[in-house]
Amino acid sequence: MSQRANGSGFATAGPDFPDLPEATVARLPEYLRALHNLAEDDQDTVSSEGLAAAAGVNSAKLRKDLSHLGSYGTRGVGYDVQLLIEQIEQVLGLHESRAVALVGIGNLGHALAGYAGFATRGFHIAALFDADPHRVGERVGTMTVRDIAEVEAVVDAERISIGVIATPAHAAQRVADRLVAAGVTSILNFAPCVLVVPDGVDVRKVDLAIELQILSFHEHRKSALTALPAKAVGQ
């Protein structure tokens, strides 16, 4: 759910960078996860059908997506798992571990700060911030929660480009403005609100309640489809 689109639906590209549809960019991490699982099972190659099934997409879409990376696989053999991992990681910019700042160390912030999965997926949480004096100074794992007033200095010192917002909605825009002023150029927003950011800053939003509401729609539709027609009731 990117909040920013450039109109063409394509991710902005530089001269040596493949022009990728946003939908392809969104599927690349799924392929990467599936490929890592295959590599862990010592699988050297995978067919487009096998990888598509593992990633939960259709194989024609997968072949098209990977063709954007110049990856076509070998007829009768499929894709080289390790090579494809390297290509996708290169395009996603995961060859270097990216420093992330997490703002709002409440219930959600604690859970995110303790999630070990970021490190293996190309990210490390470099700083934790909160505005509550009772939270500032608290130890969370190996880190100490800092005062949000330090954000400019820390973002600069730790070369942080991505900020994660886990504050209440009423504080999120102010936090986003501060992160952007400090030099952050990508924001992952957990607060249930729309953020306004300048051009050049990317925002993605995560909202489990919206996902549940979409599932609710499907539940609603299924029950409508399976309901007996009114006149059949009682016959």
Ligand X SMILES: NC(=O)c1ccc[n+]([C@@H]2O[C@H](COP(=O)([O-])OP(=O)(O)OC[C@H]3O[C@@H](n4cnc5c(N)ncnc54)[C@H](O)[C@@H]3O)[C@@H](O)[C@H]2O)c1
Residues in binding site for NAD(+)? 104-109
- With H, G, I as helix, E, B as strand and everything else as coil, classify residue 95: coil
| Of 42-50, 53-61, 74-82, 186-194: span binding ligand X (CB under 6 A) | 186-194
| Of 16-24, 40-48, 184-192, 217-225: span binding ligand X (CB under 6 A) | 184-192
- With H, G, I as helix, E, B as strand and everything else as coil, classify residue 116: coil
Q: Tell the residue number behind the tokens 């995110």, with chain if given.
A: 112
CB atoms within 10 A of CB 70: 8
Burial class of residue 11 (count of CB atoms within 10 Å of its CB; 0-12, 13-18, 19+): buried
Cross-strand pairs, 82: none
- Please state the closest distance from residue 8 (CB atom) to ligand X, in A: 28
- Please state the closest distance from residue 15 (CB atom) to ligand X, in A: 36
Instruction: Please tell me whether residue 195 binds ligand X under the rule CB under 6 A.
Output: no
Instruction: Please tell me whether residue 79 binds ligand X under the rule CB under 6 A.
Output: no
- With H, G, I as helix, E, B as strand and everything else as coil, classify residue 188: strand
Site string for ligand X, 29-68 (x = CB under 6 A): ----------------------------------------
Query: For ligand X, which residue of 44, 49, 132, 156 counts as binding (CB under 6 A)?
Result: 132
Q: Which is nearer to ligand X, 81 or 180 (CB)?
A: 180
Q: How far apart are CA 36 and CA 92, in angstroms?
A: 15
Instruction: Please tell me whether residue 163 binds ligand X under the rule CB under 6 A.
Output: no
Contacts 24+ apart (CB under 8 A), 145-152: 145/105, 148/103, 148/175, 148/178, 151/101, 151/103, 151/127, 151/178, 151/179, 151/182, 152/178, 152/181, 152/182, 152/183
Query: For ligand X, which residue of 32, 81, 91, 105 counts as binding (CB under 6 A)?
Result: 105
Instruction: Please tell me whether residue 194 binds ligand X under the rule CB under 6 A.
Output: no
**Which residues make up each annotated binding site?**
104-109
Binding site for ligand X (CB under 6 A): 103-109, 129-132, 135, 148, 166-169, 171, 174-175, 190-192, 206-208
